Amino acid sequence: KQEVTQIPAALSVPEGENLVLNCSFTDSAIYNLQWFRQDPGKGLTSLLLIQSSQREQTSGRLNASLDKSSGRSTLYIAASQPGDSATYLCAVGAEGGSQGNLIFGKGTKLSVKP
């Protein structure tokens, strides 16, 4: 059974710092991996999607990498800002027909202090 783990569970950094959020998964047979952001009381906003054949994706100050063989993904946030404060969720999509099955980690709660 696929399991997704995110470390750390919470992170507090000063504004301007570069930071890395980690995601690991137990089964390397994934279809894709997606990073989401969730603000308190709100829905999920997609940040980056990495297909299983890709190694990384970039969007603005965000860069996500994927290493299927080791079962790891990282989300790099450059020059963090207070507006980046949110919970970041990693989710893996299953390979094959059950592509409706996203398995989520429990998230990393990020706080960026001014």
Interface residue list for another protein (CB under 8 A) = 32, 34, 36, 42-46, 49, 51, 89, 91, 93, 97-107
Closest distance of CB 33 from another protein, Å: 9
- Residue 71 vs 93, nearer CB to another protein: 93
Distance CA 6, CA 21 (A): 8
Work out the angle at residue 24's Cα, subtended by the Cα atoms of residues 19 and 30, and round it to the nearest 5 degrees: 125
| C-alpha to C-alpha distance for 93 and 78, rounded to whole angstroms | 26
DSSP 83: G
Least distance from another protein to the Cβ atom of residue 58, Å: 15
| Shortest CB 14 distance to another protein, Å | 28
Taking the C-alpha atoms of residue 51 and residue 12, their distance in angstroms, rounded to an integer, is 30
Quick one: 80 or 87, whose CB is closer to another protein?
87
Q: Which is nearer to another protein, 83 or 97 (CB)?
A: 97
| Tokens of residue 34, six digits | 């997606």
